[in-house]
Amino acid sequence: MDDRFNTIAGWTLFGGIVALGLASVSRHYFEADKGHRPHEMGYAIEGVAVEGEGGAAAVPLPNLLAAADPAKGEATFAKCKACHTIDPGGANGIGPNIHGVMGKPIGKSVPGFPYSSDLAGKGGNWDFANMDAWLASPKKFASGTKMSFAGLGNAEERANIIVYLNNQGSNIPLPAAEAAPAVEAADAAATKAGDTASGPAQTSAAAAGAVAQPAPSLAGGGDKAVGNTTQ
């Protein structure tokens, strides 16, 4: 009877130890991964920019505009047709007619249209940078706007629609594209190659100087001597 009891108690204790170990491992795993965004989103969320957009590696807006496809922009504009017309002389809908909107004053492009006070008081014109910011997040651009559209998180998609809008009665010259980062990287590599051209000669001279020095004493100072010969 005692042997049977000891066996049951032993297996129970063993099971508890295993369960405790698994719980500890799983806790450390999920805490290490806590707060990290998945490498690839399960589905796209309109108005949410992809990771890395707007950071140091983001493509400049002038470059995106230079490579934009107005035909794709027209297709994207289908999302806007529920509220806007874009044909010359088109009627206002929930939103104003936006034919020739590029270059016009923000919140005042159609006289008499009831723009929100936040948008009407924004100031400035619908230049490329302002239109890009507006399309990215209308609420962030003008918090009191009546426009309920969440925005376009994809910078290339915004560039496509901006070029399309510009072609509809505005035709403002596009800004000059900035130098490609690849060119700057090539210049940096060439400079580095030039700097290292004299490296072997300098290394040989340093090595010759190190060999000419007397051998270190084994009694004390040995660590210091090893440090000198490796520099």
> Residue 7's pLDDT band (boundaries 50, 70, 90)?
confident
| Helices 128-136 and 155-167, axial angle in degrees (round to 10) | 130
Domains and CATH numbers, the chain: 61-167 (1.10.760.10)
Q: What is residue 224's predicted lDDT score, i.e. its pLDDT?
A: 39
Structure tokens at 60: 């400049």
Q: What is residue 57's predicted lDDT score, i.e. its pLDDT?
A: 62
Q: What is residue 182's predicted lDDT score, i.e. its pLDDT?
A: 55
Is pLDDT at 100 greater than 70 in this prediction?
Answer: yes
Q: What is residue 28's predicted lDDT score, i.e. its pLDDT?
A: 57
This model's pTM is above 0.75 = no
Q: What is residue 189's predicted lDDT score, i.e. its pLDDT?
A: 63
Is pLDDT at 223 greater than 50 in this prediction?
Answer: no
Q: What is residue 171's predicted lDDT score, i.e. its pLDDT?
A: 95
Q: What is residue 122's predicted lDDT score, i.e. its pLDDT?
A: 93
Residue with tokens 């190190």: 210
Is pLDDT at 218 greater than 70 in this prediction?
Answer: no
Is pLDDT at 8 greater than 90 in this prediction?
Answer: no
Q: How far apart are CA 165 and CA 102, in angstroms?
A: 7
